[in-house]
């Protein structure tokens, strides 16, 4: 599908507005997370180095896939992969993401925040053409060298654990549309996070595990998309096992 | 394959995923799969894969974007199977 000129233009405008305001909103959002909520990522160093390494290899698009427990995961994961000031000077590394429209359209300031934070809202369960158009917009920005973030389970993990059977085809469709696309699987979880919630508890300390892969499939169509999503979910499930094993 | 045969098979495939059995029982070509039958959008992939197996066709990701109603499924399947 060829993305309409109007869509391409609006995405590039959104990106530039976010970038120009980045020196204000990125440190402010990180400070809000750190000082207002006390959230801290305690072992981000290795993940940030791997992310920076993958970013230095510009030959193919990069997609981040992660587990999903709260509505602020996108920002927490971004901070786990790069410092606020690094994103100010490497704005293309700040991942695009596709939050549920209903969750972030209630107030004007949430709409502004999601706009500058490189969000392309999607109405889950909405008109399939509109969902497809959202995915095409997301793919377009990754094809231009920006990073994207998707949750392969399609929503927050209701059981609190990765569910390989919850695989959606969108992630696979993105990967298939971008030849050579690399995937950085990120497992982020707070020490006190037992289940999904709207937001983590105050003072939560997060740990991050990661693994990179380049999913492949011999199948075409949706079967291929599903196979790719399942490979990613299997890797995330392995990271989850490591996370829990380390805490026994 | 006739439109009626395709319709009946589509409804049969949708049956385990539909959370509104009343709407399923009275399903027509313009019945919306997500809104009327209350099929979980995340499970649409299972439905499409079942279509592929049942009709021996291959459906591209982009083609799923045009599927909202039972009739959309029937028309897509008939176009692919012909």
CA A245-A149-A85 angle, to 5 degrees, is 95
How far does the CA of residue B2 sit from the closest CA of chain A (Å)?
Answer: 25
Query: What is the C-alpha to C-alpha distance for residues A62 and A212, in angstroms, rounded to an integer?
Result: 10
How far does the CA of residue A126 sit from the closest CA of chain B (Å)?
Answer: 8
Higher pLDDT, B17 or A127: B17
What letter does residue A169 receive in the DSSP assignment?
S
Work out the average pLDDT over A144-164: 90
Please tell me the least confidently modeled range out of A202-211, A218-227, B3-12: A218-227
- In DSSP terms, A188 is beta-bridged to A208
Structure tokens at B40: 């979980």
How far does the CA of residue B58 sit from the closest CA of chain A (Å)?
Answer: 7
Least CB–CB distance from B59: residue in A154, A167, A221: A221
With contact defined as beta carbons under 8 Å apart, do A230 and A164 qualify?
yes
Q: What is the pLDDT of residue A57?
A: 82
Q: What is the pLDDT of residue A234?
A: 94
The closest alpha carbon to A214, from A185, A243, A173, belongs to A185
Burial state string for A138-172 with b = 16 or more CB within 10 A and e = fewer than 16: bbbbbeeebbbbbbbbbebbeeeebeeebbbbbbb
Q: Does domain B3-81 have CATH number 3.90.1150.10?
A: no
pLDDT tens, position by position, A62-118:
999 999 999 999 999 999 999 999 999 999 999 999 998 888 888 999 999 999 999
Least CB–CB distance from A132: residue in B45, B52, B65: B65
A45: Cβ–Cβ under 8 A, 6 or more apart, which residues? none
Least CB–CB distance from A128: residue in B59, B60, B64: B64
Q: What percent of chain A has pLDDT over 90?
A: 76
Q: What's the mean per-residue pLDDT of chain B? A: 92
- Name the pTM for this structure: 0.90
The closest alpha carbon to A234, from A165, A176, A178, A171, belongs to A165
- Please indicate whether, in this complex, the C-beta atoms of B61 and A221 are within 8 angstroms of each other: yes
Q: What is the pLDDT of residue B52?
A: 93
The closest alpha carbon to B53, from B13, B25, B11, B7, belongs to B13
Query: What is the C-alpha to C-alpha distance for residues B12 and B29, in angstroms, rounded to an integer?
Result: 14
Structure tokens at A174: 């993105």
Least CB–CB distance from B59: residue in A132, A166, A222: A222
Higher pLDDT, B44 or A121: A121
Q: What percent of chain B has pLDDT over 90?
A: 74
Asked if pLDDT for residue A14 goes beyond 90, the answer is yes
Asked if pLDDT for residue A241 goes beyond 80, the answer is yes
Work out the average pLDDT over B29-46: 90
| Residue-range domain boundaries for chain A | 5-245
Q: Where are the alpha helices (DSSP H) in A32-150?
A: 45-56, 73-81, 84-89, 108-116, 128-143
- In DSSP terms, A190 is beta-bridged to A206
With contact defined as beta carbons under 8 Å apart, do B41 and B50 qualify?
no
Place of tokens 């990179």: A212
How far does the CA of residue A238 sit from the closest CA of chain B (Å)?
Answer: 22
Q: What is the pLDDT of residue A1?
A: 61
CATH superfamily for A5-245 is Glycerol-3-phosphate (1)-acyltransferase (3.40.1130.10)
DSSP A2-35: PPPHHHHHHHHHHHHHHHHHHHHHHHHHHHIIII
Contact list in B for residue A155 (CB cut-off 8 A) is: 42
Contact list in B for residue A220 (CB cut-off 8 A) is: 58, 60
Asked if pLDDT for residue A240 goes beyond 70, the answer is yes
With an 8 Å Cβ cutoff, is B64 touching chain A?
A: yes
Q: What's the mean per-residue pLDDT of chain A? A: 92
Query: What is the C-alpha to C-alpha distance for residues A26 and B7, in angstroms, rounded to an integer?
Result: 52
Q: What is the pLDDT of residue A65?
A: 97
Query: What is the C-alpha to C-alpha distance for residues A233 and A219, in angstroms, rounded to an integer?
Result: 18
Query: What is the C-alpha to C-alpha distance for residues B45 and A159, in angstroms, rounded to an integer?
Result: 21
Q: Is A184 helix (H, G, I), strand (E, B) or coil?
A: strand
pLDDT tens, position by position, A160-210:
899 887 778 889 999 999 999 999 999 999 999 988 999 999 999 999 999
Question: How deeply is B49 buried, as exposed, middle or buried, from its count of CB atoms within 10 A (0-12, 13-18, 19+)?
Answer: middle
Asked if pLDDT for residue A59 goes beyond 80, the answer is no
How long, in residues, is chain A? 248
With contact defined as beta carbons under 8 Å apart, do A203 and A34 qualify?
no
With contact defined as beta carbons under 8 Å apart, do A79 and A30 qualify?
yes
Query: What is the C-alpha to C-alpha distance for residues A82 and A215, in angstroms, rounded to an integer?
Result: 24
A195: Cβ–Cβ under 8 A, 6 or more apart, which residues? A69, A159, A160
Q: What is the pLDDT of residue A156?
A: 87
pLDDT category at A26 given cuts 50, 70, 90 is very high
Q: What is the pLDDT of residue B33?
A: 94
């Amino acid at each position: 599908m060829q993305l309409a000129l109007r869509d391409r233009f609006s995405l590039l405008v959104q990106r530039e507005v976010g970038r120009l305001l980045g020196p204000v909103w990125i440190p402010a959002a990180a400070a809000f997370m750190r000082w207002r909520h006390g959230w801290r990522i305690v072992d981000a160093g290795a993940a940030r180095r791997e992310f920076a390494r993958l970013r230095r290899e510009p030959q193919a698009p990069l997609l981040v896939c992660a587990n999903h427990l709260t509505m602020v995961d996108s920002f927490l994961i971004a901070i786990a992969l790069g410092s606020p000031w690094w994103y100010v000077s490497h704005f293309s590394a700040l991942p695009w993401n596709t939050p549920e429209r209903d969750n972030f359209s209630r107030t004007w300031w949430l709409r502004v925040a999601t706009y500058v934070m490189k969000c392309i809202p999607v109405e889950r369960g909405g008109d399939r053409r509109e969902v497809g158009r959202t995915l095409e917009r997301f793919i377009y920005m990754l094809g231009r060298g920006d990073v994207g973030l998707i949750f392969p389970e399609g929503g927050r993990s209701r059981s609190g654990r990765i569910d390989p059977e919850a695989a959606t085809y969108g992630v696979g469709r993105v990967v298939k549309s971008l030849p050579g696309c690399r995937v950085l699987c990120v497992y982020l979880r707070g020490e006190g996070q037992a289940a999904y919630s709207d937001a983590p508890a105050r003072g939560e300390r997060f740990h991050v595990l990661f693994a990179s892969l380049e999913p492949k499939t011999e199948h075409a169509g949706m079967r291929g998309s599903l196979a790719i999503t399942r490979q990613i979910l299997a890797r995330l499930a392995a990271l989850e096992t490591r996370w829990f094993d380390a805490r026994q | 394959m006739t439109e009626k045969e395709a319709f009946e098979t589509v409804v049969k495939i949708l049956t385990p995923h539909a959370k509104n059995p009343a709407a399923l029982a009275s399903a027509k070509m313009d019945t919306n799969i997500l809104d009327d039958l209350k099929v979980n959008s995340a499970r649409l992939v299972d439905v499409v894969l079942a279509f592929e197996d049942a009709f021996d066709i291959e459906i591209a990701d982009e083609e799923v974007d045009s599927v909202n109603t039972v009739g959309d499924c029937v028309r897509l399947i008939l176009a692919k199977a012909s």
